[in-house]
Structure 1
Amino acid sequence: MKIVYCIVGTFNSGGMERVLTNKANYLAKMGYDISIITTDQKERKPYFDLDKRVSQYDLELNYTDEINVSLFRKILVFKRKQKNHRGKLSALLLRLKADIVISMFDHDATFLHTLKDGSKKVLEIHFSRYKRLQYGRKGIWKLVNMFRSWTDLNTAKKYHSFVVLTHEDKGYWGDLPNITVIPNANSFIPQKHADLIAKKVIAVGRYDYQKGFDELIQAWKHVYRVHPDWSLSIFGHGPLAETLQSLIQDLELQDVVRLCTPVKNIEKEYVSSSILAMTSRYEGLPMALLEGQVCGLPLVSYACKCGPKDIIHEGENGFLLAERDQEGLAGKLVLLMHNATLRKQMGRTSRALSLNYTEEIIMKQWFDLFKQLIKNN
């Protein structure tokens, strides 16, 4: 079976890129013919190691070149690139003769389902239904995002299958007959589990509005008053790096809160920590929670849309807090810092619950979907 994935690029260290790489590698090892088509790769290597059997094609459209231009120019350039994108992608798909083509809900999502290359079309989203409304933008950009959120629903209806990550998110899309829930799988099988002795909290994600690390840093001032001996390491990179570093300096937390560059062996950082914290404003199914869980960490997170409610069983493998409840978040972190027995109990439960997200279990759901789509051809 030939499967094609469409995405902006594989050069980033984000959760979506990691998930795609893991799936592509697994499918290639199972004998599937896998291709990844990108638009903005610019000859950069994939961040995560990609199986040599996976074919890679870049359309050289480079949408991200216009990320900081005015709205008017962005619309003009986007329309031109969309036309070019449609032509290039259609020609390549006709050549590849794929059985199934999957959009990662990037720039191809609005037109991929119209291309007549003989393949079944699947739309896969790694965020929640209301992602665009949670950007926090104002003015005309807010109106643009409201309109795009409305068009997202109409786009999803037009695919042979629409895959979301959580049952919570499925409910937000309404009664779509083509919707399917398939969560992300664990990124790795750890060589060992965290012993939960180190006085370290870990957070992982891009330094942007979505991940809400400003909330976590501000919450840490409450933690620091009680536990100045504990540290927080935030692994990532992104546009808000300087802003976050300034916030750390302003709160005089530079000795205990550190911004760390991404590492490929993030497993090592998880197992040398004792708690995972997350303060995202929105998610799909956060890989940081899954990765922390499989490494045996207790989890403390805001109950944002979507994902934390699917992963965290309140009081069993971690705690869920209302969004923006910095003091509540700090209180749960302090509770776990005080109580090593509770940390270890929650860590054991995390490891047990992580078995629901093994690669074998999740990929079987994808295999079943592929077979069903081809059967209905």
Structure 2
Amino acid sequence: MKIAYCVLGTFNSGGMERVLANKANYLSKIGHEVTIITTDQQERVSYYSLNTAIKCVDLQLNYTDDLNKGLVTRLIAYTIKQKKHRTRLSQLLKKLCCNVVISLFDHDATILPQINDGSKKILEIHFSRYKRLQYNRKGFWKWVDAYRSYKDLSLVKKFSRFIVLTEEDKGYWGTVPHIHVIPNANSFVPKNLATGSNNRVIAVGRYDAQKNFSDLIEAWRLVANDCTDWSLTIYGHGPQKQQLQQLIDRLDLNNSVTLHPPVVDIEKAYTDSAILAMTSRYEGLPMALLEGQSCGLPLVSYACKCGPRDIIRNGFNGYLIDESNVAGMAAQLVKLIRDPALRIHLGKNAAQMAHNYAEDKIMNQWLSLFEDVLRVDKDELKYKSV
């Protein structure tokens, strides 16, 4: 098959970019022709390595260049770029002659269903039904997000298939007939599992409002009072780094909390830890939970929309905490810190649960979906020819 993915860029170290790289590499390795089409790559290299057989094409639209401009300028620029986007993407897809084109719900999502290049169009979302509202923007943009969230429902119906990451999120979309649940796969198969003996809690994610690391740091203030020989390391980068560091300074936690830059080989960071913590406001299917689980870490997470409820069985491989319950987060971390046997038991259960997200198992679901949508297309042609 000829398969194309449409995304903003592959230069970020985020979970979506990691998942895309893994899927593209898998499909390329088994003989499919894969193209990744970006809009804002700006000649930057992919953060995660891609097979040399994968073709990468950037449309040079650079939507992100306009983020700091005024409202009117930004709206005009977006309208102009959407028109260019439609023209350039249409020309490219007609040249590529793909069987399947997948949108990752970015700027191309409103354009793809209008392009008549002979390919089947699939939409996948890496957040949840209410992702736009969860940005919690103010003023005019709050109403824009509400309107776009309303319009999302009609948009997804224009695609041949619509893929969400969790059963929880599927329920939020109502009666969309062609919706399917395919979770993210594990990013890697760890060489070793965490022993649970290292006195460190790990968190991973972008330093932004979504990941809400300020709550985790506030919780750690309570943990540090009782567990003075333990540390918290948060791997990531982002716009809130200075704000988070100031919070660490103000709470006098510099001796036990570290903001660490992201690393490509995150496996060792997980296996050198004993517990994984997450305080996100919203997710799709958080890669940090999947990766930590595969490395045998017990998981402690806010029960936000969406993902944690699909991954964590409360008391079996970790604990779900009510959103914004800083004291509850701290209490469960202290409970695991004080009970090494419980940490090890939950960690072993987590490693077993990770088999549900094995790469072959998840990618076979994608291959079956591709075959199904193309078979429907062939059946329709056969019917029309009779």
Q: What TM-score, normalized by structure 1, do the two folds share?
A: 0.99
**SS at the partner of 1:43?**
coil
* Cα offset, 1:299, TM superposition: 0.1
Determine the structure 2 residue equivalent to 1:333. 333
**SS at the partner of 2:162?**
strand
What does 1:75-86 correspond to in 2, within 5 Å? 75-86=75-86
* Cα offset, 1:140, TM superposition: 1.4
- The count of aligned residue pairs is 377
**SS at the partner of 1:229?**
coil
Percent identity at matched positions? 57
Determine the structure 1 residue equivalent to 2:171. 171
* Cα offset, 1:355, TM superposition: 0.2
Q: Distance in 1 between matches of 2:147 and 2:251?
A: 39
**SS at the partner of 2:233?**
strand
What does 1:144-155 correspond to in 2, within 5 Å? 144-155=144-155
Determine the structure 2 residue equivalent to 1:245. 245
Q: Distance in 2 between matches of 1:132 and 1:279?
A: 19
- 1:300 is matched by which residue type in structure 2? V
- Give ranges in structure 1 of 5+ residues lacking alignment: none
Determine the structure 2 residue equivalent to 1:284. 284
**SS at the partner of 2:86?**
helix
- 2:196 is matched by which residue type in structure 1? L
Tell me the alpha carbon deviations over residues 220-239 of structure 1, each in whole angstroms, 9 at most, x when there is no partner: 11111111211000000011
Moved more, 24-33 or 128-137: 128-137
Q: Distance in 2 between matches of 1:143 and 1:36?
A: 32
* Cα offset, 1:70, TM superposition: 2.0
Q: Distance in 1 between matches of 2:257 and 2:68?
A: 30
* Cα offset, 1:71, TM superposition: 2.0
* Cα offset, 1:134, TM superposition: 1.1
Determine the structure 2 residue equivalent to 1:227. 227
- 1:308 is matched by which residue type in structure 2? P
Q: Distance in 2 between matches of 1:73 and 1:213?
A: 33
Q: Distance in 1 between matches of 2:211 and 2:132?
A: 14
Determine the structure 1 residue equivalent to 2:89. 89
Moved more, 135-144 or 321-330: 135-144
* Cα offset, 1:294, TM superposition: 0.1
* Cα offset, 1:255, TM superposition: 1.0
**SS at the partner of 2:297?**
coil
What does 1:38-187 correspond to in 2, within 5 Å? 38-187=38-187
Q: Distance in 1 between matches of 2:106 and 2:81?
A: 13
- 2:212 is matched by which residue type in structure 1? G
4+ residue segments displaced more than 2 Å? none
Q: Distance in 1 between matches of 2:219 and 2:363?
A: 37
- 2:214 is matched by which residue type in structure 1? D
What does 1:288-367 correspond to in 2, within 5 Å? 288-367=288-367
Q: Distance in 2 between matches of 1:224 and 1:153?
A: 45
Tell me the alpha carbon deviations over residues 79-125 of structure 1, each in whole angstroms, 9 at most, x when there is no partner: 00000000000000000000000000000001111100000000010
Q: Distance in 1 between matches of 2:72 and 2:246?
A: 33
> Do structure 1's residue 199 and structure 2's residue 199 form an aligned pair?
yes
**SS at the partner of 2:300?**
strand
Q: Distance in 1 between matches of 2:365 and 2:268?
A: 29
Determine the structure 1 residue equivalent to 2:27. 27
Q: Distance in 1 between matches of 2:154 and 2:50?
A: 33
Q: Distance in 1 between matches of 2:88 and 2:21?
A: 23
Moved more, 66-75 or 284-293: 66-75
Q: What TM-score, normalized by structure 2, do the two folds share?
A: 0.97
* Cα offset, 1:69, TM superposition: 1.6
Moved more, 137-146 or 203-212: 137-146
**SS at the partner of 1:315?**
coil
- The alignment's C-alpha RMSD in Å is 0.6
- 2:336 is matched by which residue type in structure 1? L
**SS at the partner of 1:376?**
helix
- 2:131 is matched by which residue type in structure 1? K
Tell me the alpha carbon deviations over residues 30-55 of structure 1, each in whole angstroms, 9 at most, x when there is no partner: 11010000000011110001001100
What does 1:8-19 correspond to in 2, within 5 Å? 8-19=8-19
- 1:353 is matched by which residue type in structure 2? M
- 2:177 is matched by which residue type in structure 1? P
* Cα offset, 1:296, TM superposition: 0.1
**SS at the partner of 1:35?**
strand
* Cα offset, 1:127, TM superposition: 0.1
Q: Distance in 2 between matches of 1:113 and 1:148?
A: 17
Q: Distance in 1 between matches of 2:174 and 2:44?
A: 39
* Cα offset, 1:139, TM superposition: 1.7
Q: Distance in 2 between matches of 1:218 and 1:148?
A: 34
Q: Distance in 2 between matches of 1:329 and 1:28?
A: 42
Q: Distance in 1 between matches of 2:337 and 2:72?
A: 51
- 1:307 is matched by which residue type in structure 2? G
* Cα offset, 1:72, TM superposition: 1.8
**SS at the partner of 1:162?**
strand
Q: Distance in 2 between matches of 1:176 and 1:306?
A: 18
Determine the structure 2 residue equivalent to 1:7. 7
**SS at the partner of 2:342?**
helix
- 2:13 is matched by which residue type in structure 1? S
Determine the structure 1 residue equivalent to 2:368. 368
- 1:185 is matched by which residue type in structure 2? A
